Amino acid sequence: MLNSRRCAACIYLRRKCPRDCLFAPYFPSSNPQRFANVHKIFGASNTSKMLTQLPVDLRAVAVDCMYFEATSRVRCPVYGCVGIITALVQQITDIQYEIAKTKAEIALYSAQQQQMSENKDSQG
Amino acid sequence: MKGPEARSSTSCAACRLQKRRCTSNCIFAPHFRSDDPLKFAQVHKVFGASNVSKILSEVPQEQRDDTANSLAYEAEARLRDPVYGCMRTIALLQRKRVELQHDLMLARARLAHYIASNSSQFGKGHVDMAPLSHLSPLCIEQTQSFGWNLSEFY
């Protein structure tokens, strides 16, 4: 009997949504794009396999992660979420450079200040 | 009548895994060489050969190597961490970035203090206290748009 409230996955796959549908808790019909993206990148079969290999209490967060990765890949087919990692690594490198530069300037000012104060002492 | 496609002399990793003939225009061959079978095996397990083929065919040829490598990275991350995949790395890097931005702010404040307290000796220096403008919080925006709270990784 067709479930009148099919989940997004079963709507997308054009099939009945059973009471114990694996996808239903994580792909509500209110957000069709969520399953569409995950299906496009990972595929329904792979998603199903990955979910069944996880404890039930971890499946929701796993699907959230897969949705993020899938959507990143849809938006940027070349790099996906790896592009985000690359950008973050570059940003971290840039900030570390700025910190080093600032600390070098502090050291310079500090040395000059010390020199000034030694000169003052020797004149006094 | 169309003749059979020329067979590649060496099957690529993808065709070996799928036990099929590797043709000269195999889309996988340039990026999944036979000497690295693990790369395609992982990508196949996570994304599936059909999806990988579609993704590769949708990007320009000169970008397919980068695409294959990023898919391999993502697949390896997901196999290593079936729950979080790449997200754990993203969360840790975001935390590191926030910590370093704080360190930079402190360093700049300290430098400004030096300059201010010694302006008569050193002349009026200037410390750019503005946040690094090119560091757009792209990840924060993207993750927030997913209602994603990365603090659970910290």
DSSP B2: P
Are B144 and A62 in contact, with CB atoms under 8 Å apart? no
B23 phi, psi to nearest 5 deg: -85, 170
- Search chain B and give the residue with CA nearest A78: B67
Q: Looking at the predicted structure, is the pLDDT value of residue B128 above 80?
A: no
Please tell me the distance in Å from A10's CA to the nearest CA on chain B.
Answer: 20
Q: Looking at the predicted structure, is the pLDDT value of residue B150 above 60?
A: no
Cα–Cα distance, B66 to B45 (Å, whole number): 19
Residues of B in contact with A116 (CB under 8 A): 121
Residues of A in contact with B58 (CB under 8 A): 77
Section B11-38 average pLDDT: 92
Q: Which of A90-99, A110-119, B74-83, B122-131 has the lowest mean pLDDT?
A: B122-131
What pLDDT score does B117 carry? 77
pLDDT tens profile A9-51: 999 999 999 999 999 999 999 999 999 999 999 999 999 999 9
What pLDDT score does A3 carry? 47
Section B100-126 average pLDDT: 81
- Looking at per-residue confidence, does A109 or B79 come out higher? B79
Cα–Cα distance, B113 to B6 (Å, whole number): 73
pLDDT tens profile A39-92: 999 999 999 999 999 999 999 999 999 999 999 999 999 999 999 999 999 999
pLDDT band at B116 (very low <50, low <70, confident <90, very high): confident
Section B102-129 average pLDDT: 79
> Residue B23 forms beta bridges with which residues?
B7
A62 contact partners, CB below 8 Å, separation of at least 6 = A50, A51, A54, B82, B83, B84
Nearest to B97 among A73, A95, A102 (CB): A95
Predicted TM-score (pTM) of the model is 0.81
pLDDT tens profile A99-112: 999 999 999 988 88
What pLDDT score does B137 carry? 47
Compute CA A1 distance to the chain's CA centroid, rounded to the nearest angstrom: 39
- Search chain B and give the residue with CA nearest A56: B83
C-alpha neighbours within 13 Å on the C-beta side of residue B51: 24
Are A29 and A8 in contact, with CB atoms under 8 Å apart? yes
pLDDT band at B91 (very low <50, low <70, confident <90, very high): very high
The interface predicted TM-score (ipTM) is: 0.85
What pLDDT score does B121 carry? 57
The answer, for A55 touching chain B at a CB cutoff of 8 Å, is: no
